């Protein structure tokens, strides 16, 4: 009688949190090929407060209590030269609307970059700090955040990862797709070419998430 490897038996599930229905649709349509265990895509709603509540609720229920958490979806690029459809892998997330509750260091960002390069060939992958905000950031606010060293901003990642770690120790990561940038601001997601491009990229990232998730189970040398 064959037995599964011990690592497979103890693999934590994967919880992917996003804010919008269109983000959830993109992530769910990526298929489950390559998944190393149970996973779910949770729609939190927009803003840090909703992200906190939704992530707390999800991680309080079985089988997700010990889940690895990825915050994903769209973001606003801050650096000149960024384009819709570029990917942002956070090395850390900074703050949220609750105030200066510190920096959350992400797990295995280098592994995610490599996995995304394979999953979405030809797309630029940026790495660096991901800022949090409680509102859509435009104009001079983008320049102010860029001056702090942040590459991109969104409303949920910082709150999602902070809440996940408060709930219990676990690997966390944030991967976002640029939907607008300083030279490519959009008003409504999905109504312009930039929004469509970002949707297509987000739909393709799931295999990279699964590869990163599997890598967490490998013994470290």
pLDDT digits (tens, 9 = 90+) for 98-141: 454 568 999 999 999 999 999 999 999 999 999 998 888 777 88
Q: Which CATH number fits domain 6-215: 3.40.50.300, 3.30.70.270, 3.40.50.800, 3.40.50.1580?
A: 3.40.50.1580
Domain borders along the chain are 6-215
Task: Please give the pLDDT value at position 45.
Answer: 96
Task: Please give the pLDDT value at position 137.
Answer: 79
Task: Please give the pLDDT value at position 209.
Answer: 96
Residue 107 backbone dihedrals phi, psi, to 5 degrees: -100, 130
Highest mean pLDDT among 133-142, 155-164, 192-201, 208-217: 155-164
Cα→Cα distances 19→56, 73, 93, 162, 179, Å: 14, 7, 16, 16, 14
For 65, other C-beta atoms within 10 Å of its C-beta total 14
Q: Which residues pair with 130 in a beta bridge?
A: 93, 152
Rounded CA-CA distance 200/26 in Å is: 7
């Amino acid at each position: 009688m064959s037995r599964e490897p011990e690592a497979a038996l103890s693999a934590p599930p994967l919880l992917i949190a996003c804010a919008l229905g269109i983000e959830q649709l993109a992530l769910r349509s990526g298929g489950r090929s390559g998944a190393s265990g149970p996973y779910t895509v949770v729609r939190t709603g927009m803003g840090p407060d909703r992200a906190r509540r939704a992530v707390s609720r999800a991680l309080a229920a079985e089988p997700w209590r010990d889940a690895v958490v990825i915050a994903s979806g769209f973001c606003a690029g801050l650096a000149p030269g960024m384009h819709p459809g570029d990917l942002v892998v956070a090395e850390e997330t900074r703050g949220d609307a609750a105030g200066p509750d510190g920096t959350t260091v992400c797990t295995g960002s280098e592994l995610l970059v490599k996995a995304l390069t394979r999953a979405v060939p030809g797309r630029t992958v940026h790495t660096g700090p991901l800022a949090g905000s409680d509102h859509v950031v435009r104009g001079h606010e983008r320049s102010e955040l860029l001056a702090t060293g942040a590459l991109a901003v969104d409303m949920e990642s910082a709150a999602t990862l902070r809440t996940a770690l408060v709930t219990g120790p676990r690997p966390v990561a944030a991967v976002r797709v640029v939907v607008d940038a300083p030279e490519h601001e959009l008003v409504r997601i999905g109504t312009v070419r930039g929004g469509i491009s970002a949707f297509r990229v987000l739909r393709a990232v799931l295999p990279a998430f699964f590869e990163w998730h599997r890598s967490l189970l490998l013994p470290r040398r």
